[in-house]
Structure 1
Amino acid sequence: MKKICLALSVCAVFLLLSIASCSGTKETVRITDEEKQAFSQQVGDTVKIASDSTEYEIIIIEPGFNFWLQSVAKPRGYYSQSFLENRNQIYVINYNQRVLQPQRYDPNLYEFQINYDPNIDYGYEVNYKLYNYFIYFQRKYNQRLGPFVPRI
């Protein structure tokens, strides 16, 4: 009987150590003072995302986004267009899935589906601003639209 109790307590200690080691891998997002300033803005920014070479555009009405884009986001040219397109495709799929589940996800955050076709070349500017909006959205509302931490 003592051997069984000892074996169970060794297993319990091992299980606790396993659980404790798993919880240490979660990465947190640190919000900067500039981001806090952008997130706290109440006046609605309107950002029109369009490309001169294409006829596609997106209009974002989000308080603080334009300020965040100008002051916090990585500059144009930092990311390649293919990187932006790949990330946007992942973000759009996850965003649109949440739009279709208003009982599970806040319908005030996920109001409308985004019609983004990965087979269309929207140009760098559209992809750049859309990607940055997704980063802004995830950081401001503490959401995760993909398998990676939304960083700047």
Structure 2
Amino acid sequence: MKKLYFLLGIISFFTLCIVSSCKTTKETVSISEDEKAAFQQKEGDTITIADDSTEYEIIIIEPGFNFWLQSIAKPRNFYSQSYMENRNQVFVTNYNQRVAQPMRFNPSLYEQQINYEPHTDYGYEVNYKLYNYFIYFQRKYNQRLGPFVPRI
């Protein structure tokens, strides 16, 4: 019986050592002064996200987003459309899950579900602005809508 306790003590000691050495690092997002200025704007921007070649449209009313999009975001054609579609699908799924849980997530941040179908071609412009809105949203409100850090 003493051997069993001793063996359990050794196993628990090594488990404790392994667990304590496996520290998770949370990556922090650095925000520039220009980006902080965009986040602090109070006047409402209304951005219509549409593509002339498609019939899809999204309207975003968010103070500072238009300024952020024009001055901070990566330029058009930096990301491929398929890259943004893949990210947008993850962002929309997580965003819509949070909309459905108003007791768990702030309902003033997650107000309305987004109808984004993965097999619909919304065009480059819609995907570009939606992707950048999600990056803006995550950085401004310190949210994570996916497994990756929202970077510019």
TM over 0.5, shorter chain: yes
Q: Which amino acid aligns with 1:40?
A: Q
State the 1:119 CA deviation: 1.1
Aligned to 1:45: 45
Matching of residue 26 in structure 1 with residue 26 in structure 2: yes
Runs of 4+ in 1 over 3 A off after TM superposition: 7-14
1:118 & 1:11 partners in 2: Cα distance? Answer: 47
Aligned to 2:74: 74
Find the residue that maps to 1:101 and give its secondary structure: coil
Q: Which amino acid aligns with 1:58?
A: I
Find the residue that maps to 1:110 and give its secondary structure: coil
Structural mapping, 1:136-147, within 5 Å: 136-147=136-147
Quote the sequence identity (%): 68
State the 1:14 CA deviation: 6.6
Evaluate the alpha carbon distance shift between residue 124 and residue 14 of structure 1 in structure 2; reply closer, same or farther with a 3 A threshold.
Answer: same
Evaluate the alpha carbon distance shift between residue 68 and residue 16 of structure 1 in structure 2; reply closer, same or farther with a 3 A threshold.
Answer: farther
2:122 & 2:11 partners in 1: Cα distance? Answer: 58
Q: Deviations over 1:67-122 (max 9, x none)?
A: 00011100000000000000000000000000000000000000000000111100
Structural mapping, 1:50-129, within 5 Å: 50-129=50-129
Evaluate the alpha carbon distance shift between residue 12 and residue 93 of structure 1 in structure 2; reply closer, same or farther with a 3 A threshold.
Answer: same
RMSD of Structure 2 on Structure 1 (CA): 2.0
2:137 & 2:122 partners in 1: Cα distance? Answer: 21
State the 1:11 CA deviation: 5.5
Aligned to 1:15: 16
Find the residue that maps to 2:23 and give its secondary structure: helix
Q: Deviations over 1:14-70 (max 9, x none)?
A: 7266335413x2211111111100000000001110000001000000000000001
1:47 & 1:122 partners in 2: Cα distance? Answer: 16
2:10 & 2:32 partners in 1: Cα distance? Answer: 45
Unaligned segments of structure 2, at least 5 residues = none
The count of residues paired between Structure 1 and Structure 2 equals: 150
Q: TM-score, normalised by structure 1?
A: 0.89
Unaligned segments of structure 1, at least 5 residues = none
Evaluate the alpha carbon distance shift between residue 93 and residue 10 of structure 1 in structure 2; reply closer, same or farther with a 3 A threshold.
Answer: closer
Q: Deviations over 1:104-142 (max 9, x none)?
A: 000000000000011110000000000000000000000
2:133 & 2:125 partners in 1: Cα distance? Answer: 12
1:14 & 1:97 partners in 2: Cα distance? Answer: 36
